[in-house]
């Protein structure tokens, strides 16, 4: 098969779609990626790129076609809107100049939903089936993060979502709880299938040498590590409030790897709350490096805002955490909480429960190292049983082949 992946985000931005594209290529498929100029999460074009250029690159055997977009900047509403719409427009225009013959279009929808528009245009131009992988629910996530409050705009976005879903041949969802929401907006004949995230093969339990450079980068003490986007959905208010409750226990350290539009706010809050000795913002690292830092964590942290929409999702960092075999500390509701409770991999409190999170940190700290190791092993076992990369990709390939066969039969 020749698969066209449409994704606003791609290498060198760090998303799971990178691994999917390379793995499909390694499994013998031709893969082309239609994407934008990398600018996430820093908000400006990565070194070596310019926002308003058209590029053709190669990434580990994958052909990468880049179209212009307006960088997301500081992540204000209008700047994000321009970022989203500029990619949808330029990528749609680019579809007229694609000369390759594709068997299937695979859309990776990690916000915005408008990433589906170029794929649907190409589907109509060439009658190529579209498979759409939903990572974020729209328009629900817009209201949940406060990005859009206007009921009129949200109603308009719902119509856009309905149009996109109804124009797809198969829809995949990263959380089982997404199924009813998606099903309500698409035809009954369109298959809606649960397809969770996995973790790249480099996420695994590690034992580091005493002289490992990673050790020197982290503070000594009980380490709670958060990795990922520093945004509105992650409820850093909860993390900082929990850290403030424990600020006098100076051997408890909160270590944050990542970037995002709320980083400046978090930095100012750390200063205002007097948390600079226990909360550490260490910036971003390559995804391949993260297992080394996770190996040095006493607890890996995941948090979300309290909102019915976020209760439906499973943050993709949960799979990465479980794969690395370390205890998990979580302040979230719904599906993510269910997965962690079912795995026995850590301690879970409700979303935005800063007091409960602080108490969970103390509980984990009081456990013996053997007890924490048992938690980590449970997480790894659960990961292997439910999120094994090869089994999931076998399933995806099966769906892809069936979809292309159905399309060839004209059904």
pLDDT at 78: 86
Asked if residue 94 and residue 243 are part of one domain, the reply reads: no
* Same domain for 234 and 194: no
**Is 319 part of any domain?**
yes
In a domain, 240, yes or no: yes
Asked whether the predicted pLDDT for residue 411 surpasses 70, the reply is no
Query: Do 167 and 227 fall into the same domain?
Result: no
pLDDT at 327 over 90: yes
Q: Are residue 179 and residue 261 in the same domain, yes or no?
A: no
In this structure, is residue 206 part of a structural domain? no
Tell me, yes or no, whether 259 and 218 share the same domain: yes
User: Where does the pLDDT of residue 145 fall: very low under 50, low under 70, confident under 90, or very high at 90 and above?
Assistant: low
Q: What is the CATH number of the domain that holds 360?
A: 3.40.50.2000
Instruction: Tell me: do 254 and 382 sit in the same domain.
Output: yes
> How many independent structural domains does the chain possess?
2
Q: Is 205 part of a structural domain of the chain?
A: no
Asked if residue 402 and residue 258 are part of one domain, the reply reads no
Domain carrying residue 335: 213-386
Asked whether residue 285 is assigned to any structural domain, the reply reads yes
108 and 174 fall within a common domain? yes
pLDDT of 240-261, one tens digit each? 999 999 999 989 999 999 998 8
Mark whether 255 and 276 lie in a shared domain. yes
Structure confidence by residue, pLDDT tens digits, 174-214: 999 999 999 999 888 899 999 999 999 999 999 999 999 99
Residues 180 and 259 reside in one and the same domain: no
pLDDT single digits (tens) 45-71? 999 999 898 999 999 999 999 999 999
Q: Which of 148 and 275 is assigned the larger pLDDT?
A: 275
What b/e readout covers 298-327, taking b as 16+ CB neighbours within 10 angstroms? bbbbbbbbbbebbbbbbbbbbbbbbbbbbb
What pLDDT sits at residue 408?
73
Q: State the SS3 of the chain.
A: CEEEEECCCCCCCCCHHHHHHHHHHHCCCEEEEEEECCCCCCCCCCCCCCCCCCEEEEECCEEEEEECCCCCCCCCHHHHHHHHHHHHHHHHHHHHHCCCCCCEEEEEECCCHHHHHHHHHHHHHHCCCEEEEECCCCCHHHHHHCCCCCHHHHHHHHHHHHHHHHCCCEEEECCCCHHHHHHCCCCCCCCEEECCCCCCCCCCCCCCCCCCHHHHHCCCCEEEEEECCCCCCCCHHHHHHHHHHCCCCCCEEEEEECCCCCHHHHHHHHHHCCCCCCEEECCCCCHHHHHHHHCCCCEEEEECCCCCCHHHCCCCHHHHHHHCCCCEEEECCHHHHHHHHHHCCEEEECCCCHHHHHHHHHHHHHCCHHHHHHHHHHHHHHHHHHCCHHHHHHHHHHHHHHHHHHHHHCC
- 250 with 321, same domain: the answer is yes
In a domain, 203, yes or no: no
Do 71 and 178 fall into the same domain? yes
Asked if residue 398 belongs to a domain, the reply is yes
- Residue 406: the pLDDT is 81
Is position 247 within any domain? yes
């Amino acid at each position: 098969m020749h698969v066209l992946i449409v994704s606003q985000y791609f290498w060198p931005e760090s998303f799971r779609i990178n691994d999917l594209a390379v793995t499909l290529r390694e499994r013998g498929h031709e893969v082309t990626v239609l994407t934008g100029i990398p600018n996430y999460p820093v908000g400006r074009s990565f070194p070596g790129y310019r926002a308003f250029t058209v590029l053709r690159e190669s990434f580990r055997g994958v052909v990468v076609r880049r179209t212009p977009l307006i960088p997301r900047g500081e992540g204000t509403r209008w700047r994000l809107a321009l970022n989203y719409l500029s990619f949808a427009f330029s990528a749609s225009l680019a579809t007229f100049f694609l000369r390759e013959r594709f068997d299937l279009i695979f859309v990776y929808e990690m916000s915005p939903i408008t990433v589906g528009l170029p794929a649907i245009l190409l589907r109509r131009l060439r009658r190529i089936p579209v498979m759409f992988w939903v990572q974020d629910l729209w328009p629900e996530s817009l209201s949940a993060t406060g990005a859009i409050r206007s009921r009129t705009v949200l109603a308009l976005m719902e119509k856009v979502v309905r149009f996109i879903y109804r124009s797809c041949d198969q829809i995949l969802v990263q959380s089982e709880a997404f199924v009813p929401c998606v099903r309500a907006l698409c035809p009954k004949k369109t298959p809606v299938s649960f397809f969770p995230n996995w973790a790249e093969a480099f996420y695994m339990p590690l034992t580091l040498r005493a002289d490992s450079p990673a050790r020197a980068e982290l503070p000594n003490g009980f380490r709670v590590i958060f990795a990922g986007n520093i945004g509105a959905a992650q409820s850093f208010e909860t993390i900082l409030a929990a850290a403030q409750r424990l600020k006098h226990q100076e051997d408890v350290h909160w270590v944050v790897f990542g970037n995002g539009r709320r980083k400046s706010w978090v930095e100012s809050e750390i200063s205002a709350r007097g948390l600079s000795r226990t909360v550490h913002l260490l910036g971003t690292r390559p995804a391949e490096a993260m297992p080394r830092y996770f190996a040095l964590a006493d607890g890996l942290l995941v948090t979300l805002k309290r909102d019915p929409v976020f209760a439906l999702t499973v943050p993709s960092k949960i799979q990465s955490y479980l794969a690395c075999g370390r205890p998990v500390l979580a302040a979230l509701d719904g599906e993510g909480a269910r997965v962690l409770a079912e795995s026995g991999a850590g301690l879970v409190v409700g979303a935005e429960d800063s007091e409960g999170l602080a108490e969970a940190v103390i509980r984990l700290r009081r456990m013996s190292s053997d007890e924490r190791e048992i938690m980590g092993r449970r997480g790894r076992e659960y990961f292997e049983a439910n999120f094994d990369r090869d089994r999931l990709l076998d399933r995806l390939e099966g769906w892809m082949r069936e979809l292309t066969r159905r399309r060839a039969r004209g059904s």
